[in-house]
Structure 1
Amino acid sequence: MEQIQVKTETKSYPVLIGDGVIDQLQQVLEERVRDCSRILIISDSNVAPLYLDEVKSKLSGYQVNEWVIPAGETSKSIREYEKGITYALRCQLDRQACIIALGGGVVGDLAGFIASTYLRGIRFIQVPTTLLAHDSSVGGKVGINHTSGKNLIGAFHQPEAVLYDIHFLKTLPKKEWRSGFAEIVKLALIRDPDFYDYLEENVRSLPIEDEILTDIVKKAISIKAEIVGQDEREAGIRAYLNFGHTLGHAIEAESRYQSITHGEAVMIGMIFAMKLSEEHFKTKVFPEGFFTWVHQLGYSDWHATLNKGGLLLETMKKDKKSQENKIRMVLLKNCGDVILQTVEDSILTAELASYRTWLKTIAADRVAEK
């Protein structure tokens, strides 16, 4: 078992990582959620049949309720949030109660937001079950989507602990591995060139091999914890974690969260941001062999929503980093070196319009090199 301590201005809490760490749940509750009156486990329709009973079996002596939401991004909604609050009231949760989020990023975000607002805030524990949730379960950003955009309603509410059991990842489909690994690539690109080189050399297919999975997850969470520790409420460098997300979130929203996962959209967003970075800084930004590697892992660099440049631009303006109707994007100077930059609408319109032609040029150059 590996352990990382997340330290922010408001709280310090452990992240336990490894195969079988769910066995530590009762001990963590006793240490971190003292005098717990009742537990509400929130999970989804994919995860609950696989792991809910196993988690409940670790909670001897506690009064436990469960609430299962429909799997998928559409559950991060005002309607589902209201249902969760109503169910918590029906279960008579008080301020000594604890919510356990058992699932991926959607479950963690929704359950965390319910915990942050129910009775003005109660405690919660993250038990992520996807690779993607290595990112969303750490740092205390919780929330739901609005019809106008992703994560526009939310709060900062740190968990009491995170139990990241690698065992839970074994049932993930390959599409979810791609979704989660994109966020790991993001962390390497914005913060650690050596980590990027390690990933490119050692992860040649997905799922990630068991021998290196724990080490990779630990490194990714360590990077996230370091950034969150310096900037809990995204007043500075934490905004860099949104690399690839400005366009990525817009692609998700315009696809109605149906045809592409979060991480797959973020990968396209990162490619677009790096293209923009090369134009802005007049220098090479893409690591050698980047396209060959990500294509080998099954990522696409295109999605049908990119044909709707005008709609994407308007959706990007609703991004949380935008100011005075100006889009601010995280750009990459070099691997490990990023800035937050205001980008004019005219530039983004032109870059979106030329993106597909540019991809064809990149593909042709790769063929010529062979």
Structure 2
Amino acid sequence: MTAPLKPSDPITVHVALTDRAYDIVIGRSVLPSLGARIAALRPGVRTAIVTDKTVAKHWLQATEASLAEAGIATSHIAVDEGEGSKSYAGLEKVSEALIAARIERNDLVIALGGGVVGDLAGFAAAILRRGVDFVQVPTSLLAQVDSSVGGKTGINSPQGKNLIGSFHQPVLVVADTAVLDTLSPRQFRAGYAEVAKYGVLGDAAFFTWLETNHADIMRGGSAREHAIATSCRAKAGVVSRDERENGERALLNLGHTFGHALEAATGFSDRLYHGEGVSIGMVLAAEFSAQLGMISADDAVRVERHLADAGLPTRLQDIAGFQQEGLADADRLMALMAQDKKVKRGKLTFILLQAIGQAVIANDVDPATVHAFLQQKLTQ
């Protein structure tokens, strides 16, 4: 691994997508530069900020001030915090507010918030007037390293997570690591699961570095910017090669087939944050891989131990209210996994491990084997 860069040095990661290429700007206190960056990118543009009520209390004023300083007119809409806003009702609310604000096709929508806001605002922008560009200003660790990059936007269906959406790339991502200081420890840890994912699926050296440096990342030391930039470079590389998930990009779903089913089973509530579901899902994927003889049991234990050391849940039994809402029912979890976006012609697709740092796409996994594995885990 390269040594971490100084946190005072903004880092730019380029997402190479020909005429839709864009930059991710990462660094402490880069939010005040947002207005100048947008003005340089789109002179004369008008904007509308989509945020949530909690983020608005901390960062809306600073965002509006940066835009005003650059002479950019703006308005805003604040939705409720949490996955409940990623719904048909939430999409209608945001879309109607953008229309009322007279946002036109040559204007910009700004997503100021975590993954929920980014997905919701991005999808609203994608369908507003058949397509309006947008800027991501991610305010959670999970959004900075994952959901703000790559153009996946959407809302949840009662039948599953992210089943309604589109690919709509941002034109700029500004990731200010200082905003992460306002996150609760639980929210930050949930985002860390996506950081660890990049090491587990494709970079064994990064995973080893995380095992040594995760405490400094949690404290906000220089390792934080390095971890975020490394994660963004990994995702940017995959997205540039496979934008619409026809192959390699599916590897980024490590832990998500299990995790999304668990989120649906808990009603997309704060009983289980997305990153917490991914953490449990990664451990299940590692253990399932070991059971299939693809990796050693020691490697599976290593994945579980690191996530536990980072303060993340690693077992089904770690979920609040474990016995409720189908969590202790293998049939129910299998039915939820059958609604996953990666299912093709009814056949389950999992991301499994051949080694730490080497994930593979496993098509047509035997449902009976998965059911037996889940039944085993539910009784441990």
TM range (shorter): over 0.9
Instruction: Note if 1:315 corresponds to 2:324.
Output: no
List per-residue Cα deviations over 1:124-165 (Å, max 9, x = no partner).
100000000021000111111111100001111111100000
The aligned residue for residue 348 of structure 1 is 370
Instruction: Note if 1:104 corresponds to 2:117.
Output: no
The aligned residue for residue 140 of structure 2 is 130
5+ residue gaps in structure 1?
361-370
1:195 match: secondary structure: helix
What percent of counterpart residues are identical?
35
Aligned residues: 357
Instruction: Note if 1:153 corresponds to 2:164.
Output: yes
> Structure 2-normalised TM-score?
0.91
User: Match for 2:201 among 190, 204, 207?
Assistant: 190
**Does the Cα contact within 8 Å between 2:287 and 2:300 map onto a contact in 1?**
no
User: Match for 1:58 among 58, 66, 74?
Assistant: 66
Q: Which moved more, 1:263-272 or 1:196-205?
A: 196-205
The aligned residue for residue 366 of structure 1 is none
User: Match for 1:225 among 218, 236, 253?
Assistant: 236
5+ residue gaps in structure 2?
1-9
Matched AA of 2:337: M
2:135, 2:287 → 1: CA distance? 39
1:129, 1:240 → 2: CA distance? 25
Instruction: Note if 1:298 corresponds to 2:326.
Output: no
The aligned residue for residue 23 of structure 2 is 14
The aligned residue for residue 248 of structure 1 is 259
1:340, 1:231 → 2: CA distance? 14
2:302, 2:376 → 1: CA distance? 22
Instruction: Note if 1:260 corresponds to 2:272.
Output: yes
**Does the Cα contact within 8 Å between 1:190 and 1:335 map onto a contact in 2?**
yes
List per-residue Cα deviations over 1:19-43 (Å, max 9, x = no partner).
111122122112222331x210000
Offset of 1:275 from its aligned partner?
A: 1.2
1:109 match: secondary structure: helix
1:100, 1:163 → 2: CA distance? 10
Offset of 1:344 from its aligned partner?
A: 1.6
| 1:327-342 alignment runs, 5 A limit | 327-341=348-362, 342=364
2:267, 2:200 → 1: CA distance? 28
Matched AA of 2:368: S
**Does the Cα contact within 8 Å between 2:217 and 2:227 map onto a contact in 1?**
no
Instruction: Note if 1:29 corresponds to 2:4.
Output: no
**Does the Cα contact within 8 Å between 1:174 and 1:206 map onto a contact in 2?**
no
1:47 match: secondary structure: helix
**Does the Cα contact within 8 Å between 2:36 and 2:67 map onto a contact in 1?**
no
Offset of 1:63 from its aligned partner?
A: 1.9
List per-residue Cα deviations over 1:308-348 (Å, max 9, x = no partner).
21111011011111011111100111112122112121111
Matched AA of 1:318: Q
> Structure 1-normalised TM-score?
0.93
Question: What is the root-mean-square deviation in Å for CA atoms of aligned residues?
Answer: 1.5
